[in-house]
Amino acid sequence: MNSEAVLHFFMFFGAVFSVIIALGQLVQKKNVTINKIYAFSFFGLGIWLLQISMYSSGLFDSTCVGFYFCIISIPIIFLVPPLMVMRYTWIISSFFDLKKIYYIVFLPAILSLVYIIIPLFKQGITCGMPCFPGLPILSDKFYELSLYDKGLYLLFIIPNIYLITFMTPNLMTMAYVWNKKNWNTVPGVSRMGYIFAWSIVISNIVCVYGAFVSMKVVQWAVIMANTAMTGVYLVTQRHPDYNKLLKSEAMKARYERSRIKGLDIKKIIQRLYEIMEEEKAFADEELSLPDLAKELNISTHQLSEILNEHIQKNFNTFVNEFRVKEAQKLLLEEPDRSVLSIGVAVGFNSNTTFCTVFSKMTGMSPKQYRKEHGKK
């Protein structure tokens, strides 16, 4: 078996596997609306992958069946991007009303069907008609095609562009799962799902690029999509509530973003620094995030969000920086005062903690700092 045959096997395997995934979604006990959308999107994806595999590999260029399939499947393929976008819209939205977008979803498919059917009825359909050849748009042979055939070819890649255009904003909205500061709270499965979703978008970008320059690139785009789809399948098998988990994380992220909306962030930060620098709140060894939030008349969650998003520090780092800065000052101004006494004075509850934090932030111990920067 040569490399070309192996490539074709994996390309067509993805199409069959998509249909199997779709059937698996339909036979689930809890067959809710989102599962049906998920199933139909994978069924359409299987048809789509088969069509791309057929015209990019050239295996069916001279067959009547190949022609019928590649052309007639176009309206079905036009349903795939909207269905996938609907799925991710359901994930990132607090509500999802299918009825409101019902007709919009089917409109591109209907228009593509009209484009295909009208000329065929005028010209008639015969088995002698060749399957539409897979030609790069920038090739010389492509420009020899009739205007109608060029339009058909563009219909092949419009769903790719549709998916890229509408999936990307949804995935950007879900970027919180890749934010490193959220890794302790966001499950790894969410990050895996995010990678697979982006892989699908990237494979479509590669496919569009290949449509212009080389069918070989299109074939590798199919392999990329198959790999991402297999990954999604494995994740959903390991985590049956995968879709609900992603939705839960999306809801959580939207809540996080809304917590500080409407607050005068600039004034809060200004007051925060006044409390730390002028009132020396850091000197209280029992100072906590709730205590500081109470001083600012905001919630603990709001203060945490301001520290992380606007000051780029967590609570402990923020407070300890003030403590170390004050300790540096006292070490030089009061050379006879013990290191332990200074550590306690600036808010550390033990000498060990003081020395550890001080060394981490300055690169030297309190004694070394006093020795190197004190009066000589």
CB atoms within 10 A of CB 284: 13
321: left (phi over 0), alpha (psi -120 to 50) or beta: alpha
Q: Tell me the CB-side half-sphere exposure of residue 266, using CA atoms within 13 A.
A: 0
Cβ(238)–Cβ(189) below 8 Å: yes
- Residue-level pLDDT at 281: 92
Q: What is the mean pLDDT of each run of 10 residues along the chain (376 residues)?
A: 74 86 77 74 87 76 66 86 76 55 73 81 54 74 82 86 85 63 53 78 92 89 87 75 64 58 84 91 91 88 83 91 93 90 92 92 91 74
- Residue-level pLDDT at 324: 94
- Residue-level pLDDT at 101: 54
- Residue-level pLDDT at 128: 46
Q: Which residues of 14-41 are buried (b: 16+ CB within 10 A; e: fewer)?
A: bbebbbebbebbeeeeeeeebbbbbbbb
* Structural domains for the chain: 3-256 (1.20.1070), 265-373 (1.10.10.60)
